[in-house]
Structure 1
Amino acid sequence: MPHTPEPDEDDLDAIAPPQPVFHVEQALLGALLLDPHRIDDVKGITADSFSTAAHAALYAAIRTLPRPDPAEHAKNTKWLDRVLATALEEARGLTASYLHALVQVCPWPRHAPAYARMVEAEHARRRLLTAAERLVHTVHDVSLPHPVQTVLAEADALAAVVDDIANRFPPRSGVLPRTPAPPPTAADDTEAVEEEQLLLATATARPDDIDAVRWLLPDDLTLPLHAGLWQCLTTLARRDEPIDPVTVLWEAQQRGLLDDGSEPGEILRMLAEPAGSVGHWAERALQRSLLATAEHTGRRVEAYAGDSANTPFQLVAGARRALADIAAVRTRWQHAAGATPPQQRRAAPATRAGPPTTTAAHAARPTRATR
């Protein structure tokens, strides 16, 4: 068998990731190099399923080349030479000695199907991690002209990966990842705070518009105080009670919202400065909530997929539970996008004017309010 002159012949071992899957891939490739007919027993993987370019090139060559006669293969290395020559077209660092090493490290060639299943499981984890990373990256891409639509498309792509993994590894009921979910990202978003203040003030000035934005929930707002005040407004509106800054402040006191040291005078001043329309500010708040939910979902799935101790069954269960959070906000967003009235043109009784209605992109905002 000819030896390919490569000065750094041992680099494949040096640069290989230390994860167990690397050794599993070696065992699988060794089994197929030793007994090529066992390729018929290997299901569910392709060259892309391997963690290194060298292993992917070898598997592609093994899968592509005609299988040798078993008797001839036992006598010479001609087929191994062809595998090496073919694989070298994609991975120039391969050597004949590495192929021989693969054969030597394979414990039992008849275990090839089990090795392939392990490779498939690890590939599923990497695919899930990549899809989750794309979702998080998209949430933070402030250049997007239509951030919600683009983020939801990435969420759908992540869900499609989860469904494919579920088809390959049917989930078992009650099996969730052992990895703790990361805490929500906390960030300073002055714009979100200001817009929520305008929402609360405008809803106080125009309480008849509150019913039209029932899709907005307190937890969609970024600050606990804002969430509590929105709950005060919706409660007063549902009871058909008088709504103005004073009645809202009184309801807030009854709910203990002032126990954190919030100044009543500051709340009254905030509620007395409306601008724009309730629907506009509510839609802006819901958009931020959707993007923040998508970001947190992506980070949860990243954490699950980044933990190699989680099985494919656990990854599917955990990812589906995380994606359910996006689905819930998405339903409300679709309702809002079809029901929100245009920005009102009549003059507002405040000194601050709101921006024109838009759903322009913003970076993911702070953690959702907690009650």
Structure 2
Amino acid sequence: MPHTPEPDDEGLDPVPPPHLVFYVEQALLGALLLDPHRVDEASGIGPDSFSTAAHAAIYRAITSLPRPDVAEHAKNTRWLDRVLAAAREQARGLPPSYLHTLVQVCPWPRHAPAYARMVEAEHARRRLQAAAERLVHTVHDVSLTHPVQTVLTEADALTKVVDDIAHRFPPRAGALPRANTSAPPATPNTVEAVEEEKILLATATAYPSDIASVRWLLPDDLILPLHAGLWQCLTALDRRNEPVDPVTVLWEAQQRGLMEDASDPGDVLRMLAEPAASVEHWGERALQRSLLATAEHTARRIEAYAGDRANTPFQLVVGARRALADVTSVRVRWRHSTKATPPLQRRLEATTRARPPTTRAPLADRSTRATR
């Protein structure tokens, strides 16, 4: 097999050796050059399935040219010359000796279907990795006018790639990907997110009757543990139909152990006393951040799976589908949030300063709640 030459210049890093699939592609192309009639047996691949432009050009030439007569092909190299000429139209630097190298390194031409399946599997891995990378890039694209819709569209494109791989490589029961792949945490705009979460909590405290309209917002959607815990306190008080104001929320937080991290009760009280706009508006903002963070985390998990060449296509399908289920879950809640209030009304609420904070008496709302 051809080796990778070392660079002549001192101080340069050595060229990394080709991946295993490079040699698999060589074996497949050598088999097809020796016996062109085996092209029909090497199904499921195309020129874009190969890892190098030269291999893609050779495969395109092999499959596009008329197949030679078997007896004639065994006597001379005329068909190989035509393949070389056609391949050079796409890969001009292709040396004439390379086709002979391919023929020499092929162990058994009759194994062409097995080689083709290996090439197809590696191509599936590259496709999955590229789709996941596009999703990460889309999440971080600050120029998008409608980031959520665009990210969800890219997530759908990633799902289609997974479905296509599953069609070619049906997943097997229990074929989980290797578990030592960990995705890095998402990195949202922490300063902006923290400030908006504070306003969300204060506004929900001032207008507890609006908490029921944002049931689609979960504690995990908030980035700070303290904020997530305070949201749990608010929803718990609302669910129990108890009075909601900064003091009752803080007391509930203490009962849940949230104040054991040395949080200053005075700071929390001041934070809960500064509402603005509407609960729906800030809740939707928090959910949007959660959706984008979930999409990025999912994409990076799939990137990690696809980056591990020990994972088979069967394992990649199972792992990718499990990861994409997280996006589906938050997408459902996003649809509920955007359908709950008409867009025009949400815009008006977002630009209107909230009224002075009010508290809710438990008996005043109990009869109303019973009719919901």
> Normalising to structure 1: TM-score of the pair?
0.89
2: CA distance, partners of 1:263 / 1:308: 50
Instruction: Check if 1:18 corresponds to 2:24.
Output: no
Question: Retained in 1: the 8 A contact 2:28–2:116?
Answer: yes
Aligned to 1:115: 115
Partner SS for 1:85: helix
CA contact (8 A) 1:245 1:271 kept: yes
Return the offset for 1:174: 1.5
Task: Name the counterpart of 1:230.
Answer: 231
Summarize deviations over 1:32-55 as a string: whole Å, max 9, x none.
001111111111000000000000
Q: Is the 8 A contact 1:61 1:86 kept in 2?
A: yes
Is the contact made by 2:238 and 2:244 (CA closer than 8 Å) also made in structure 1? yes
Structure 2 counterpart SS, 1:322: helix
| Contact persistence 1:159–1:323 (CA under 8 A) | yes
What's 1:86 paired with? 86
Q: Distance in 2 between matches of 1:347 and 1:180?
A: 47
Give the whole-Å Cα distance in 2 for the aligned partners of 1:13 and 1:31: 25
Q: Which residue of structure 1 aligns with residue 307 of structure 2?
A: 306
Which residues in structure 2 correspond to 1:166-315 (within 5 Å)?
166-178=166-178, 179-186=180-187, 189-315=190-316
SS of residue paired to 2:275: coil
Larger relative contact order (Cα-Cα within 8 Å, sequence gap ≥ 6): 1
Following the alignment from structure 1 to structure 2, what is the Cα–Cα distance between the partners of residues 347 and 298?
38
Alpha-carbon offset, residue 93 of structure 1: 1.4
TM-fit CA distance, 1:212: 0.3
2:47–2:59 contact (8 Å) kept in structure 1 = yes
CA distance in 2, matches of 1:203, 1:229: 10
Q: Distance in 1 between matches of 2:141 and 2:68?
A: 52
- Residues 129 and 306 of structure 1 are in contact (CA less than 8 Å); yes or no, is this contact kept in structure 2? yes
- Relative to 1, partners in 2 of residues 1:216 and 1:21: Cα closer, same or farther, differing over 3 Å? same
Q: Give the distance between the partners of 1:338 and 1:146, measured in 2 at CA.
A: 16
Task: Using the TM superposition, give the Cα deviation of residue 283 of structure 1 relative to its aligned residue in structure 2, in angstroms.
Answer: 0.2
Structure-to-structure mapping, 1:66-145, within 5 angstroms: 66-145=66-145
Q: Using the alignment, how far apart are the partners of 1:63 and 1:188 within structure 2?
A: 51
Q: Percent identity?
A: 74
Does structure 2 conserve the Cα–Cα contact (< 8 Å) formed by 1:272 and 1:350?
no
- Asked whether the equivalents of residues 4 and 17 of structure 2 are also in contact (C-alpha less than 8 Å), the reply is no
Query: For the Cα contact (< 8 Å) 1:185–1:296, is it kept in 2?
Result: yes
Contact map agreement 1:126 1:305 (CA 8 A) in 2? yes
Cα distance, 1:346 vs. partner?
A: 5.4
Aligned counterparts of 1:25 and 1:250: Cα–Cα separation in 2: 67
Question: How much has 1:180 moved relative to structure 2?
Answer: 2.1
Counterpart for residue 358 of structure 1 = none
CA distance in 2, matches of 1:197, 1:105: 66
Matched letter for residue 228 of structure 1: G
Pairwise CA distance, 1:181: 2.5
Counterpart AA for 2:233: C
Superposition deviation, residue 158 in structure 1: 0.2
Partners in 2 of 1:174 and 1:30 — Cα distance?
Answer: 36
* Distance of 1:12 and 1:49 partners within structure 2: 22
The answer (yes or no) to whether the contact 1:16–1:22 under 8 Å persists in 2 is no
Residues in 2 aligned to 1:187 and 1:57: alpha-carbon distance in whole angstroms: 43
Once the two structures are superposed, the pairs formed by residues 21-40 of structure 1 within 5 Å of their partners are 21-40=21-40
Residue pair 2:54, 2:91 contacting (<8 A) in 1 also:
yes
Alignment of 1:150 onto 2:150: yes
CA contact (8 A) 2:188 2:293 kept: no
Task: Note the alpha carbon deviations across 1:236-293, whole angstroms, 9 max, x for none.
Answer: 0000000000000000000000111111000000000000100000000000000000
> Under a length normalisation based on structure 2, what TM-score does the superposition of the two structures give?
0.89
Greater alpha carbon shift after TM alignment, 241-250 vs 92-101: 92-101
Please report the RMSD computed on the Cα atoms of aligned residues, expressed in angstroms. 1.8
Q: Is the CA contact 1:273–1:350 (under 8 Å) kept in the aligned structure 2?
A: no
Q: Is the 8 A contact 1:49 1:123 kept in 2?
A: yes
Contact conserved, 2:188 with 2:289, CA < 8 A, in 1? Answer: no
Please tell me the residue identity of whatever aligns with 1:301: I
| Cα separation, 2, equivalents of 1:348 and 1:314 | 52
State the 1:193 CA deviation: 0.3
Report the Cα offset of residue 11 of structure 1.
10
Q: Tell me if the contact between 2:208 and 2:244 (Cα under 8 Å) persists in the aligned partners.
A: yes
Mapped partners of 2:95, 2:79: distance in 1: 14
Alpha-carbon separation, structure 1, partners of 2:301 and 2:289: 18
SS in 1 for 2:299: helix
Partner of 1:7: none
Measure, in 2, the Cα distance between the counterparts of 1:254 and 1:313.
47
How many residues matched? 342
- Runs of 5+ unmatched residues, structure 1: 1-9, 352-371
The one-letter amino acid paired with 1:348 is A
Quick one: distance in 2 between partners of 1:131 and 1:94? Answer: 30
Sort the Cα spacing of 1:11 and 1:17 in 2 relative to 1 into closer, same or farther, 3 A.
closer
